[in-house]
Chains A and B, each alone.
Chain A
Amino acid sequence: MVTRDRAAEIFNRIKNLSTADEIEVLFSGGRSALTRFANNVIHQNVEEENHVVSLRSVFGGRTARAFTNKFDDESLRRVVASSESLAKVQHPDPDLLSLPTSQEADRERPEVDVKNPGAKFPSRHFAETAAITPQMRAEGVKTIVRVAQKHQLTTAGIFSNSESVEGIFNSRGLSKWHTQTLAEVSITMLAGDSSGWQKANSPDVTDISPQLLAQVAAQKALHSARPAELPPGKYTVILEPAAVLDIVGSMFWDFSGMAILDQRSFLTGRIGSKLFGDNITIWDDVSHPLQTGSPFDGEGMRRHRIPLVENGAVRRVVYARATAERMKRSEQKGNAGPIEPTGHGFPLPNEMGEMPINIVFAAPQNPQSVEQMIASTERGVLVTRLWYVRDVDPYEKIVTGMTRDGTFLLEDGRVGKGIRNFRFNQSLIHALSNVEAMSTPVRSTGEEAFDMVVPAMKIVDFNFTEVTKF
């Protein structure tokens, strides 16, 4: 693993080779391993170690970036030459800012930062996770396979672990480093005509129980056997947290100052408006105990805790440094919410600007468990996860996708039979205006969006338009 000291030494060698006015060097990489199983056997089992250094060179308003995963002198000379030759032929960009100093990057910003009393950035590196061996992962898989075999099911999934680093050094003295571990287990249980799924991840492997996840996935597969076909239409749905994550994921690209400037966001002209129900409050909060990730952005700016939506009203979007400066000069500044750098920028140069990536839904005033939501539902649909979610209409925020791996009819306050999977075409604006009940938010992970802290939701009038064959 590349350490902070080794990274500093590489940065100094690059600095000595550079002829640019300013430079910024990003480090990323680490070790990762993944054991994959299907049909109750391990069929793929991989491990890799890789570290990438990327150099951004700046010459008077012109900048470009080059990447390499080799740290010998010749490779570093080449990455310096690539970055400089790319930068020198750019047209000067009047919006390009000088690199931030540590003071600027870490400055308290009371105008943007909403304090989280008592919050301290938690350690996200756990030796126990980093030390997982192939044999230990195989033992975990054996546990999962035993649950499958007990129920005459077959199982497919993964058990993975990683140890990663993220660092940034610039020629104005800024230097930041973050290390993290992550363990992840994802399980699909398959019966003849049904399936069930569960997935969890955490920096600390002891938070994850393969046995428990396997049992829940198995129960879903067993209970959804011989699925019935229901007609498409509007239903009350209960989305488990993973399904909520899947469906809301794409909208957070739009909570970006650059997306507003580009007029590609569904929030264009809507910041300050009440778009969702009173019960929807959403934060971006990297320091939340259930979140992961580094406390700085692609320029090294400290990530601030930002209220994105409060009681259904879109309060603000996030800003990289340069986006904030551009917005202040823009005709749209009056409709762009509070405009200050929030620490959410992507590494420069880029076209997308920034986005919030540590989403936390606030707990409702009266949280209900999924069981309580089911008990109060006369007729509805319980959804485990969603699949292939894509934007249909970028401004009305209509998204389409399928249900998957455990979809059930709810009748008279109880979980009934399994049903064939539905296709939905649903406006997120309408869906988040129709949330009748929510659970306490939990850390959730799926395949359609990045990890978030989200509740389960009971939503009325959810729009299923088609049904598939299984």
Chain B
Amino acid sequence: MKEIASWALDTATMRGASFADARVIRQRSRALTTKNGKVGSASDAESEGMNVRALVDGAWGFAASEDLSRRGVEATAARAVEIARASAQVKQENVRLAPEKSVIADWTTPYVIDPFSISIEHNIDLLLKIDAELRAVAGVTLAETNLNFNREEQWFASSEGSEIHQTKYSTGAGYAAHAFVGNEIQKRSYPNSYGGQWQNKGYELVEELKLVENARRIAEEAVALHNADQCPEGVFDLILDSSQLGLQIHESIGHPIELDRVLGMEANFAGASFLTLDKLRKLQYGSEMVNVVADARQEHGPGLGTFAFDDEGVPAQCTPIITNGLFTGYLSSRETAHTIGADRSGGTLRAEGWNRLPMIRMTNISLLPGKAPLSLEQLIASTDRGILMQTNRSWSIDDKRYNFQFGCEIGWEIKNGKRVRIVKNPSYSGITTEFWNALDAICSRQEWTLWGTPNCGKGQPQQVMGTGHGAAPSRFRGVKVGSAYKGS
């Protein structure tokens, strides 16, 4: 594979590239699902290819191909150079890359059990066992389960001398119970919606999740929602569970801090950001309790945004994003670092696969846990009038990331420190900075979970990327609740 990269780099530089990098990637994935007692889908996939990114006359070109023959690789590299020359016809300034030391390295996701070593029979038996638990509850009309395993091996080389071999594993597992009665569909998911929990781990994640043990409870909650009252509309103190808070972080902190969005590069598709450059180290993003980091290092945990090097060879880093409520950092790349006065990339450039251009992506964007010991039950006990919401059901936010609305699968009304009733169809909405400034309590480390979001879309052509979000249940004062159902 090193040879393939060197063919690409030699061709690109010989044809005039001032800088080039090449990535040769081999991906493998397995997806298993069940639905109502039967296997829904079972598939294995392999994909292999390479790409070249070339800087010529101060502009970028990128070409990718499945063809790994010497002739094919050289043609792809030549194409990247040709494309870069076309890009240079419509430019104003030359691309400036922040300096980065070249590195030779080899790294693999730490894992205990290779997920591909577990037999398919074992996996299907597990899913069908969960399915049986879900459907044992009267009123469940649809039970769905899933297991997903991924392995990506990448050889990266640059014209500056870097050679990095990196192998990443990720695992996902989860399920959902649906209940249809009359004019209403209710749903509960475990451990999270949209495929459950995902981390850069081996099969040990599946064993840690206690999937079977929670299935009966989840199914009973789905059915119980039909007899629950509608979530009231009004202003309440809001407690979010850690998985919903993870998505709230993703949408209202993770996306607006992407420097390419801030600089207008996503304006046509994913949108821009309210977080203009003048706000750095000036904006009070949240209350003083809010500390958020972008941390791609293994010591942060096995998030979907954990790696040793990003896809332009920059080592994983921890960037303080919000420090005691103050906005302190963006997600950056070698090309964009100079726009915020940084002398080095924040190391966040990643691509979906061999046929996609690396771009700024969230790593693990995490809200740090509260320092004082605080459990979820203690947080509830200290709340006079509130709603606790759990597990995302719908999410939407404007294209500059100000106004958001989230719906959750289940809620509990809290009065005088106690959960008094389940409420169905809970939703809340707000403006990003007002919301984060209303945070007044964060549970401590024992309630903190590093969630995986496997389906973050961005870029043209669109790329889907996994990101990580650590969070502990937290309380927000005076939040607008229930307007999703108002007058619709």
Using a CB–CB cutoff of 8 Å, the interface residues on chain A facing chain B are: 32-52, 54, 64-70, 75, 78-79, 82-83, 85-87, 89-91, 93, 95, 133-135, 137-138, 141-142, 145, 154, 156-158, 160, 186-188, 190, 195, 197, 234, 262-264, 268, 349-351, 387-396, 398, 400-402, 404-405, 421, 423, 425-427, 430, 447, 463, 465-470
Contacts and interface: CB of A to CB of B under 8 A. Distances in A.
Contacts of A401: 396
**Majority secondary structure of chain A interface residues (helix, strand, loop or mixed):** strand
Interface in B13-67: 33, 35-36, 38-49, 51, 59-67
B44 A396 contact: no
30 contacts: A39-B264, A40-B90, A48-B51, A48-B64, A54-B45, A66-B44, A69-B47, A70-B66, A83-B44, A89-B121, A93-B38, A134-B86, A160-B460, A188-B267, A188-B268, A264-B178, A351-B41, A392-B394, A394-B185, A396-B183, A398-B484, A404-B398, A463-B487, A465-B486, A465-B487, A466-B429, A470-B274, A470-B398, A470-B400, A470-B402
A156 B265 contact: yes
A89 to B, nearest CB: 5
Interface stretch (B77-85, B383-391, B436-444): B77-85
Given A45-B83, A64-B42, A263-B141, A465 B394 contact: no
Nearest to B65: A49
Interface of B: 33, 35-36, 38-49, 51, 59-67, 79, 82-87, 89-92, 119-121, 124, 128, 141-142, 144, 178, 180, 183-185, 263-269, 271, 274, 355-357, 359, 394-400, 402-403, 405, 407, 425, 427, 429, 431, 460-461, 483-488
B86 A45 contact: yes
A425 B398 contact: no
Contact of A49 (B67, B120, B398, B407): B67
B180 A264 contact: yes
B483 A38 contact: no
A205 B62 CA distance: 23
A65 B124 CA distance: 15
Contact of A466 (B41, B92, B184, B403): B403
A401 B405 CA distance: 9
Contacts of A37: 90
Contact of A134 (B67, B82, B92, B460): B82
B315 to A, nearest CB: 24
B399 to A, nearest CB: 5
Contact of A38 (B183, B267, B355, B403): B267
Contacts of B183: 395-396
Contacts of B359: 44
Contact of B488 (A40, A87, A398): A398
Nearest to B183: A395
Contacts of B63: 46-48
A423 B405 contact: yes
B185 A138 contact: no
Contacts, number: 292
Contacts of A90: 39, 42, 124
Contacts of A52: 47
Contact of B271 (A85, A160, A263, A387): A387
Contacts of A186: 268-269, 460
Contact of A142 (B45, B89, B405): B89
Nearest to A71: B66
B66 A51 contact: yes
Nearest to A467: B403
Given A387-B271, A466-B405, A42 B488 contact: no
A96 to B, nearest CB: 10
Given A392-B407, A430-B488, A387 B46 contact: no
